[in-house]
Amino acid sequence: MNSIRSMTTSLAVVVALTTSVNIQAQSAPTLVTSLVEPGTSNTATKQQQDEVITTVDWKSFDRVGNHARIWLLRSFTETTLLGHELYPHRSQRIQYVIDCTDRSYALSQWVLTDGENGAGEVVWADRNSALSFVKAAKGTIEAGVVHAACSMEPTRVSEHQLRFLLDSSPPSN
């Protein structure tokens, strides 16, 4: 019973994270820095009321064959909640796994902290046991990251692509 409840809560939060990420990205952000420049380490977006800064960690970028992994950091000026007012946080570190074959992405793992820019105490950290790929909506940060990641050459060749998809760890602060 507890495992079903835990799994349901995790699924609800993943949906909330994905929805939160897409709603913020779709509310007409103005890109300050281009996502397609691998040497550029951050992309800032400004919302109408709240400021959300999204940083793409290009040092974490890894691509094997048609799959890539990359970490993004979203920082909020005010505390943000997920779903049913769960996990009050000011930062989201999210690792995306990207499938360049069909230009889709999945949330692999995430770390929510109570401070801006990934600082502070960890509010919640978890990872998906199974990846569910979705297409990025046009004009979102995810669409830009998918495009940039799939436009880059693979960083290495893999004999074990499935292991690559599941074997990942969060970057150190």
**What is the phi/psi pair of residue 6, to 5°?**
-60, -45
The DSSP call for residue 156 is B
Q: What is the pLDDT along the chain (173 residues), one digit of tens a residue?
A: 443 344 334 434 444 454 444 444 433 333 333 343 444 444 443 333 458 899 999 889 999 889 999 999 999 999 999 888 899 999 999 999 999 999 999 999 999 999 999 999 999 999 999 999 999 999 999 999 999 999 988 876 554 454 555 555 555 55
Number of structural domains in the chain = 1
Q: What is the pTM of this model?
A: 0.67
In 3D space, the residue among 37, 30, 15 whose CA is nearest the CA of residue 145 turns out to be: 37
Q: What is the DSSP string of 104-144?
A: EEEEEEEEEESSGGG-S-EEEEEE-SS---EEPPTTSHHHH
Measure the CA–CA gap between 98 and 94, rounded to whole angstroms: 13
In a domain, 25, yes or no: yes
Residue (of 118, 91, 134) closest to 173 by Cα position: 118
- Structural domain includes residue 171: no
CATH number, residue 60:
2.40.128
Q: Which residue in this structure is represented by tokens 């920082």? A: 75
Residue 173 domain flag? no
